[in-house]
Structures are given as structure tokens and as C-alpha cells.
């Protein structure tokens, strides 16, 4: 399937971070936008084959957190190219964005670049690396409170008609007290 600079497509597998130029978000829940999605050479070789494989590099920018230079703080998620496996990071993210698993016919037709600019909350979690150093990683995507989830059909290539989507309810906000944080999406 041909790709243009404007579109990236993921494969489907049947079920069965910072570079120093950005300031990473600290652990916690942060209002973010998907700033970029790129297909790049992976950071590490495959443990079985020793080959460095391509991955998606998904960068999230904070809407309300800036570094000392005034730049948005970021967190990056590196994923494989295929959707569908229950342990795949790409599967978890896409399912969280749309509020449901994609069908086998929808997954390869999703235009990933169309997700750039989407706003939500990123849960950033602390981790300890094998060498004992501390780091952070992208944990999960939370939809903004009282906002409809994105319509899958708006993010599909038009070659086939998309399957109908069941009714969705917004994902509840992780923090529930009234007035606890300002809504950065308004």
C-alpha cells in the first residue's frame, strides 16, 4: 500500500525516551496533543534477528507544561508497525483513542497522520532502567472528559466503506473532583 508524506498506515497482526533536545514530562497526568507520528528506524535491534526494524515514533506535546526555554514538554511512544496483538503498544494507544478495538478491516485503513493534533491526557509513569537509572514512559491515553471519542470513519482511507461504529460514551476523567484542574481543551 503506497504511503505519502501525509499518510502512514499500520499493518494488522491477528491477536493469538527523549533525545536531549526536548524536556520530558514528569510522571503524572498531563493534557497533551499528538504532535507528530513518524515511521523511523528503531532504536534497538530485534532480540531474535539482530536487525534494527522500523517503528512508529509518536510524540506528545504538553498543552500546559513548558520547559525553562518556553518549549512544550514532551513524551515519546515508540511502537511496532502492527496493530492487533494484545500486548502491542500501538494496539493499546489506538484502542484508547477510539474507545474500542478496531476491526481487521479498519486497522490497515487508519490514516495515522490524521491523529496529529488530537488532544487528550497522557498518563506518564516512572520507570527504573536495567542500569538503575530513572526514566519516564508513556503509560496510557485518556480522553478529555465529556467530549465525544473520535469517529473511526473520519480517520479511514476511502477505498472501502467503513464498518458502522457502536455508540460510545466518553471515557471518564481520571481526576473526578469538581474544579480540580482547568480544562485545557476549551
Tens-digit pLDDT profile for residues 7-35: 555 554 433 333 445 688 888 999 999 99
Structure confidence by residue, pLDDT tens digits, 87-132 = 999 999 999 999 999 998 898 888 889 999 999 999 999 888 888 8
Decide the pairing of beta strands 82-83 and 11-12.
parallel
The pLDDT, as a whole number, for residue 69 is 87
Report the percent of the chain where pLDDT is more than 70: 73
Contact residues for 69 (Cβ-Cβ < 8 A; gap 6+) = none
Q: Structural domains in the chain?
A: 11-155 (2.40.50.660)
The pLDDT, as a whole number, for residue 132 is 85
User: Cell numbers of 124, please?
Assistant: 506518564
Mean of all residue pLDDT scores within the chain: 78
The pLDDT, as a whole number, for residue 148 is 79
- Its pTM stands at 0.71
User: Cell numbers of 183, please?
Assistant: 480544562
The answer to whether 31 and 121 have CB atoms below 8 angstroms apart is: yes
pLDDT range class, residue 63, cuts 50, 70, 90: very high
The pLDDT, as a whole number, for residue 122 is 92
Amino acid at each position: 500500500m503506497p504511503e505519502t508524506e501525509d499518510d502512514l498506515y499500520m499493518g494488522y497482526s491477528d491477536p493469538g525516551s527523549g533525545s536531549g533536545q526536548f524536556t520530558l514530562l514528569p510522571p503524572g497526568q498531563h493534557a497533551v496533543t499528538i504532535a507528530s507520528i513518524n515511521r523511523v528506524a528503531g532504536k534497538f535491534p530485534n532480540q531474535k534477528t539482530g536487525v534494527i526494524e522500523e517503528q512508529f515514533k509518536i510524540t506528545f506535546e504538553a498543552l500546559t507544561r513548558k520547559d525553562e526555554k518556553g518549549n512544550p514538554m514532551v513524551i515519546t511512544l515508540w511502537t511496532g508497525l502492527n496493530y492487533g496483538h494484545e500486548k502491542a503498544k500501538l494496539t493499546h494507544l489506538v484502542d484508547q483513542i477510539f474507545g474500542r478495538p478496531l476491526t481487521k478491516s479498519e486497522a490497515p485503513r487508519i490514516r495515522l497522520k490524521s491523529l496529529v493534533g488530537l488532544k487528550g491526557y497522557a498518563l506518564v509513569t516512572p520507570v527504573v532502567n536495567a542500569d538503575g537509572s530513572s526514566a519516564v514512559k508513556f503509560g496510557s491515553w485518556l480522553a478529555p472528559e465529556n467530549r465525544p471519542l473520535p469517529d473511526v470513519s473520519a480517520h479511514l482511507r476511502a477505498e472501502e466503506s467503513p464498518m458502522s461504529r457502536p455508540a460510545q460514551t466518553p471515557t471518564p476523567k481520571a481526576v473526578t473532583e469538581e474544579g480540580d484542574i482547568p480544562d485545557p481543551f476549551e
